[in-house]
């Protein structure tokens, strides 16, 4: 007999009755606020073309590296799951997922998926080997209907605005198509882009020199001279801003920044665009460019996001056979105190600049990031990120950040996902955890309930809009 | 309408009824114990001269870098707050503070200030833009009365003893004046000093060579020869001890220690007192001097405190314009295992020596400090420090330290503050959090309540007296 | 009047009534499951010879470095405690322990000892100065009875299987004797060994070259040539497996691994078996051998355990006077991301290989280990280890590991102890804490109770059996 699938209205609230009652009241006021998604990785093509999503496995299993990395960790081959393998029968891959759904107990993926199953698709029995085909068929059928096309889901999910992330080499055609649909009244959804220049900033990025060639073409500047390269950035940033972008995003292995004199930077640029690039030069150039990008943000008003600290593609065999973003990126211990000083020394006192900093190294929360953000006007703290975007991860974030940085140096929630259907679930988890955290402060008489209610709305909605200028 | 200001009698206790009831009982027995403040930064001149404190901004805003750094982090200029700016109208600065008091929600500063407002000044409405002038006027008026002079507050706060912190270059005139007042029966308050030799131990300290010149004059030794330098320390330590000091204090960027042979130390001393000092030599000399100071403590009985791990003056523009101690000191990742080995290898087995170690790097609590303090007879653990002197910080300290080091390798609470009026609030927070932590142990049947009651008194009072020989 | 000694049936459960009720139900189902002890340091000679244990101090104080290091940290000389001092009167040493039992408040040692006192020996008054002799006499008397001989306790404790840990230089005579007793029907207890090759893998181990000589003799291979050395390992591993071993164990200062080409390894081997060994060569050889051992495990099926990150013998004076394992081993900050990459790059994708990784650096839980184990098929996470084998340590382990790695990349509990009498207490603590952790997930509606019940049995029993192939 399949087990019932129930989403408790009290899920994720503290079980202490005093705290739970307060959390319920706080949550009630924010549960239905619109979703502001200022950073993520959904595909703008979905909203431009509005084509139906495929089958259950294609939508929910193949693109979700949280899901397939866990299955892989228990010895299930990626091939059998249909990862980069068109020969796999999707229903069979789905059955492997279903039969191993117990592996996700205690993980956020389990909570997100259960929300998608119950709320998006209306299931009332649990996902398991026994219900695998029921799930596969009903989901696949639903996806063929108009109600499950991307724009309909966007509207149904109450998304006020969503940001995607594109490289400067992207022509933003999908965003243009969405804008046309907006202007014609065909669809009102707001989908903006963000400027993520890693492919033309990181000399170790695949195809860096080809990327610079394309960067030149798109910008009409000579991106192989340092002056032209900087002009090309200014040009593309302006184009992105015109297409709605309010932010940039920078994914670097470390948080290193540097602030080189122009002439030194010019010489370094010549080296990193040359034939052989040393690891030290690549790191120094990335470090320098973070400071350059902060300067450009001060000029053009784009909010700057920094996402450092992942060792990308840790598993060489997997990378060779399946490529990047397959669940093999591993966080590293990351220094911020020394690393950020060149950038903060140059621009940290600018109250008109917003730098939103993320970390994969939770040890820096109370030790480095809260003290930095609790001092520098330009610095704000991004929410608990990636592996830490989870109930316990969010609790650690709040309990380690707040006492030094307060709530107002944080910026609300980011879903940061390409798993479109899980977006409401992710925001809901964040709202519930924040309400529970606030409820504890109220129950311990560290804050009045009216203050917690103001904060609940700020953390769920207002801070993200303000910090990202949305 | 202003909101009421209420300090709940249950504040900071766990909200679980079983734990809260136990916490209440434990706290009741320790709430009124006298305050022992074995380490801090109050100004002995206050107690020597007993002059009234100035206006509200001068007393509560200008000297408190916890407060103005948070305001600054949100874009409020320090000039407007009256920091190093005599042109700022204090009432206007105070209004900026009042209008942004929501920034402190969830921070310890908020709790300390609310205590000062409610308990020291008797307010029953919350501090806000609306009540700013009411607060400013009533506080400023109160400060002009005898009841709010330093000695009266000292007595009212139930302070049994307070230690200030002075450099060897200080003549301790204020302490002498206080002693005279004590001896004449004019005032009974016990105010002692502590020996903080950083200005003559750290070759990178501002004016190091001038400091050695003054060190020579005060000690009557030639502090420019290594032998004379050591003799000067012995001389000034003896003078400090005679003036009541029971401890020394050492604020170093790292926890590095070294134990050089005399001849090598002599050569190093010649280098660091020369024209140009390398960073490596400066670090080695500081490291060596920690071991030398431990040796002197073994001789003269002064308890040794080590406060390592802050990157001082991280913001160069701010330092240039506003000087040190302006909220721009940032904790760093700090190693203890290797760093302390030279010192502990030499003196760690001395049961007659007490070294009290603090950290700004909480990751060392369970990993390094509890195992070290749970083994070496000479080593004790200072309480949660600075950024971590907060409800959650204290909970992390106890839950990560106790299982390996026990309670009896810790030394009770330090307020470590120059914010005199907040001292009772800070001790009260520590007592409440410790009682709550103990209550959890009792409620989970990990300890009997009579044991928790003994511990509550030890953590609130007895351990500090014993460890600091007060 | 002595205080009563009571073990509450609810000890270590959360005190929140909703969570406690669930925890009670979960615990009830696992409390009496047999003990599987897949890794530890009991002496196989106890079970081979079945001689009675000596007096109270000999059994419970002298071998337990958790106990005497805490007493030592408070200034009690090891000599007085009878550590390496046959002149100490055991009853007097025991009195020192009794009189200082308050030092253990809040530590796991206290809980384990109270269990031993109450459950193994039937005391109902608390251990203290007042009851010291009562305890000493009753325990010492009991130990002389048949009911307290090693095999009787093994049976009474419900141990299904226990693994000891031996070096390749051990002849496993005790295990042979136990096997004989098993085969003759004299005794049914299952005691297996584990292969811990540190003395012949670590060039800095005391007597490394002598060890290789003995290794050659025992294996019949020339362990001074690299080829012979590898063959000697294969030979001894096979012998250990034949004697019941299902695992190997590797205690290294760091987690460094390397994967050298054969010719390079051969040259390195020649250097580290030569007269002078550099620290870098020693580290590289240990690193390389971890990868070699993983390869052999893939061949012979032995599960591989890695226990890295302890700075051994931190206190030189203590080491000189009392030797190793005297409570002076201190955890260090440990990198895994870079360190394990050579090994995982070579063997991490092997679903048929099991590597169980432990850490003394809790900061790696959420940052490095959960992401690694949540991806690589070969990698599993050992339980909270050594200093972290404690209620709060286990809670941190679960709350920081589970969201990324799930429960099924962990392997249940290890007691890892030589304190035989405390083994049931240690497993009981783990079961209670796990049930409490699961109860919180259920009470917060993050998991159904039937799932928690399955997990409680898995964490208490099934996962250890499966992971260690028992």
Domain boundaries, chain B: 52-148, 150-467
Q: A337: which chain B residues are within 8 Å (Cβ-Cβ)?
A: 311, 314, 330-333
Instruction: Please check whether residue C18 touches B, CB under 8 A.
Output: no
Rounded distance, CA C455 to CA A103, Å? 11
Give the tokens for residue C468.
């260690």
| Predicted local distance difference test score (pLDDT) of residue B1 | 82
pLDDT tens for each residue of B214-260: 999 999 999 999 999 999 999 999 999 999 999 999 999 999 999 99
pLDDT tens-digit series, residues B10-36: 999 999 999 999 999 999 999 999 999
Residue A89 DSSP SS3? coil
Set of chain A residues whose Cβ sits within 8 Å of the Cβ of B335: none
The domain B52-148: what is its CATH number? 1.10.2020.10
pLDDT in tens, chain A (470 residues): 899 999 999 999 999 999 999 999 999 999 999 999 999 999 999 999 999 999 999 999 999 999 999 999 999 999 999 999 999 999 999 999 999 999 999 999 999 999 999 999 999 999 999 999 999 999 999 999 999 999 999 999 999 999 999 999 999 999 999 999 999 999 999 999 999 999 999 999 999 999 999 999 999 999 999 999 999 999 999 999 999 999 999 999 999 999 999 999 999 999 999 999 999 999 999 999 999 999 999 999 999 999 999 999 999 999 999 999 999 999 999 999 999 999 999 999 999 999 999 999 999 999 999 999 999 999 999 999 999 999 999 999 999 999 999 999 999 999 999 999 999 999 999 999 999 999 999 999 999 999 999 999 999 999 999 999 99
What contacts A130, CB < 8 A, 6 or more positions away? A2
Contact A404 B392 (CB under 8 A): no
CATH topology of domain C150-467: TIM Barrel (3.20.20)
Dihedral of the alpha carbons of A399, A401, A404, A409, in degrees to the nearest 10:
-130
The alpha carbon of residue B396 is apart from the nearest alpha carbon of chain C, in Å, by 10
Report the half-sphere exposure of C136 (CA within 13 A, side-chain side). Answer: 20
Task: Please check the confidence at residue C1 and state whether its pLDDT lies above 90.
Answer: no
- A37 strand-pairing partners: A162
Quickly state the pLDDT bin for C131 (edges 50, 70, 90): very high
Distance, in angstroms, between B71 CA and closest chain A CA?
A: 8
First-residue to last-residue Cα distance in chain A: 48
Is A379's Cβ below 8 Å from some Cβ in B?
Answer: yes
- What are the phi and psi torsion angles at C138 (to 5°)? -65, -40
How distant is the Cα of C62 from the closest Cα of chain B, in angstroms?
Answer: 16
Is the predicted ipTM greater than 0.90, yes or no? yes
Helices A449-457 and A17-30: angle between axes, nearest 10 degrees: 40
Distance set, CA C305 to CA A222, B384, B385 (Å): 56, 35, 38
DSSP structural state of residue C329: -
As a whole number of Å, the end-to-end CA separation of chain C is 48
Selected for mutation to probe chain B from C14, C15, C309 (highest B CB count within 10 Å) is C15
Across the interface, which of A335, A367, A455 has its CB nearest the CB of B360? A367
The answer to whether the CB atoms of B392 and A399 lie below 8 A apart is yes
Q: Which residues contact B429 (CB under 8 A, 6 or more apart)?
A: B12, B108, B111, B112, B390, B391, B394
Q: In what order do the strands lie in the sheet with C355-357?
A: C247-252, C303-308, C355-357, C379-381
Domain C53-147 has CATH 1.10.520.10: no
Write phi, then psi, for A247 (nearest 5 degrees).
-150, 160
In this complex, is the C-beta atom of C372 within 8 Å of any C-beta atom belonging to chain A?
yes
Half-sphere exposure of C375 (CA within 13 A, CB side): 29
C362 touches chain B (CB under 8 A): yes
Give C338's contacts in chain A (Cβ within 8 Å).
311, 332
Residues whose CB is less than 8 angstroms from the CB of residue B9 and which lie 6 or more positions away in sequence, other chains included: none
Judged by CB atoms closer than 8 Å, whether chains meet at B408 and C318 is answered as no
| Of C367, C226, C307, C318, residue with least CA distance to C39 | C307
The pLDDT of residue C141 is 98
User: How far is Cα of residue C176 from the mean position of the Cα atoms in its chain?
Assistant: 22
- Chain C: give the shortest CA distance to residue B130, in Å: 40
For residue A19 the two structure tokens come to 């705290």
Q: What is the pLDDT of residues C35-48, one digit of tens each?
A: 999 999 999 999 99
pLDDT tens digit string along B209-227? 999 999 999 999 999 999 9
C-alpha to C-alpha distance for A449 and A26, rounded to whole angstroms: 8
Candidate from C13, C111, C387 with C-beta closest to B404:
C387
Determine if residue A12 is left, alpha or beta; phi over 0 gives left, psi from -120 to 50 gives alpha, anything else beta.
left
Contact criterion met (CB < 8 Å) for A402 and B106: yes
Q: In whole angstroms, what is the distance from residue B246 CA to residue B464 CA? A: 12
Chosen for mutation from B17, B105, B317 (greatest number of chain A CBs closer than 10 Å) is B105
Q: Which residues of chain B have pLDDT under 50?
A: none
Assess A349–C contact: CB distance below 8 Å, yes or no. Answer: no
Q: Which residues of B touch C15 (CB under 8 A)?
A: 16, 18-19, 440, 443-444
Tell which of B374, B410, B434, B466 to mutate to test the C interface (max C CBs under 10 Å). B374
- C383 CB within 8 Å of a chain B CB: no
Q: Return d(Cα A333, Cα A353) in angstroms, integer.
A: 27
Would you call B19 and C14 a contact, using CB atoms and an 8 Å cutoff? no
Residue from C346, C375, C453 to probe the interface with A (highest A Cβ count within 10 Å): C375
Residue with tokens 């060489």: A316
Q: C11-34 in b/e burial notation, b at 16+ Cβ within 10 A?
A: bbbbbbebbbebbbbbbeebbebe
A47, with CB counted inside 10 A (0-12, 13-18, 19+), is: buried
Task: State the chains in contact with A (3 or more Cβ–Cβ pairs under 8 Å).
Answer: B, C
Phi, psi torsion values for C305, nearest 5 degrees:
-110, 135
Q: What is the CATH number of domain A149-467?
A: 3.20.20.140
- List, in sequence order, every beta strand (DSSP E) within C96-198: 159-163, 191-192
Question: Measured between CA atoms, how close is C328 to chain B, in angstroms?
Answer: 6
- A366 contacts B315? CB cut-off 8 A: no
Interface of C with A in 400-459 (CB under 8 A): 400, 402-409, 440-441, 443-448, 450-451, 454-455
In this structure, the strands spanning B247-252 and B303-308 are parallel
Could you tell me the maximum CA-CA distance found in chain A, to the nearest angstrom?
Answer: 73
Choose the closest CB to A374 out of B8, B17, B70: B70
Q: Mutate one of C298, C374, C454, C467 to test the A interface: name it (highest A CB count within 10 A).
A: C374
Distance (Å, rounded) from C-alpha A272 to C-alpha A208?
10
Contact C337 A314 (CB under 8 A): yes
What does the pLDDT average to over C334-348?
Answer: 98
| Rounded Cα distance, B411 and B37, in Å | 11
Question: Alpha-carbon distance C92 to B69, whole Å?
Answer: 57
**Closest in A335, A345, A403 to B107, CB measured:** A403
| Option in C377, C443, C448 nearest A3 (CB) | C448
State the pLDDT at residue A220.
Answer: 98
| Least CB–CB distance from C441: residue in A74, A106, A390 | A106
Contact criterion met (CB below 8 Å) for A160 and A32 = no
How far apart, in whole angstroms, are the C-alpha atoms of residue A317 and residue C350? 11
Over residues B389-446, the pLDDT tens digits come to: 999 999 999 999 999 999 999 999 999 999 999 999 999 999 999 999 999 999 999 9
Is some CB atom of chain C closer than 8 A to the CB atom of A16?
Answer: yes
Residue A74 in contact with partner chain C when CB distance is under 8 A: yes
């Amino acid at each position: 007999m399949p087990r019932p699938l129930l989403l408790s209205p009290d899920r994720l609230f503290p079980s202490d009755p005093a705290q739970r009652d307060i959390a319920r009241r706080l949550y009630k006021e924010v549960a239905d606020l619109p979703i502001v998604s200022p950073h993520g990785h959904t595909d703008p093509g979905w909203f431009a073309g509005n084509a139906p999503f495929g089958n259950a496995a294609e939508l929910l299993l193949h693109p979700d590296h949280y899901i397939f990395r866990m299955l892989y960790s228990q010895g299930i081959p990626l091939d059998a799951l249909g990862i980069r393998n068109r020969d796999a029968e999707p229903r069979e891959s789905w059955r492997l997922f279903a039969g191993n759904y117990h592996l996700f107990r205690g993980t956020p993926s389990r909570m997100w998926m259960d929300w998608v199953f119950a709320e998006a698709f209306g299931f009332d029995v649990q996902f398991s080997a026994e219900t695998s085909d029921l799930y596969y068929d009903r989901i696949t059928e639903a996806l063929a209907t108009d109600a499950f096309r991307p724009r309909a889901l966007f509207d149904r999910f109450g998304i006020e605005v969503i940001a995607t992330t594109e490289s400067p080499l992207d022509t933003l055609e999908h965003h243009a198509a969405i804008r046309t649909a907006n202007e014609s009244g065909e669809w009102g959804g707001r989908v903006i882009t963000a400027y993520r220049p890693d492919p033309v900033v990181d000399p170790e990025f695949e195809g860096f020199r080809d990327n610079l060639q394309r960067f030149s073409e798109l910008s009409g500047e000579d991106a192989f001279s340092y002056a032209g390269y900087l002009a090309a950035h200014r040009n593309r940033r302006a184009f992105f801003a015109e297409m709605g972008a309010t932010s940039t995003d920078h994914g670097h292995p470390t948080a290193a920044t540097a602030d080189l004199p122009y002439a030194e930077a010019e010489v370094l640029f010549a080296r990193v665009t040359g034939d052989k690039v040393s690891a030290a030069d690549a790191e120094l150039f990335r470090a320098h460019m973070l400071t350059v990008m902060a300067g450009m943000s001060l000029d053009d008003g784009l909010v700057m996001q920094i996402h450092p600290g992942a060792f990308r593609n840790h598993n060489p065999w997997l990378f060779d056979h399946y490529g990047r973003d397959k669940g093999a990126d591993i966080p590293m211990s990351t220094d911020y105190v020394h690393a950020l000083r060149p950038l903060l020394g140059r621009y940290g006192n600018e109250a008109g600049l917003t730098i939103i900093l993320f970390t994969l190294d939770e040890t820096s929360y109370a030790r480095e990031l809260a003290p930095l953000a609790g001092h520098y006007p330009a610095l704000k703290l991004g929410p608990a990120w990636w592996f830490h975007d989870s109930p316990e991860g969010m609790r650690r974030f709040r309990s380690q950040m707040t006492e030094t940085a307060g709530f107002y140096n944080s910026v609300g929630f980011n879903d940061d996902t390409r798993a479109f259907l899980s977006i409401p679930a992710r925001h809901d988890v964040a709202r519930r955890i924040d309400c529970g955290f606030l409820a504890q402060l109220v129950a311990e008489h560290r804050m009045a309930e009216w203050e917690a209610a103001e904060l609940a709305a700020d953390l769920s909605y207002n801070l993200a809009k303000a910090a990202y200028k949305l």
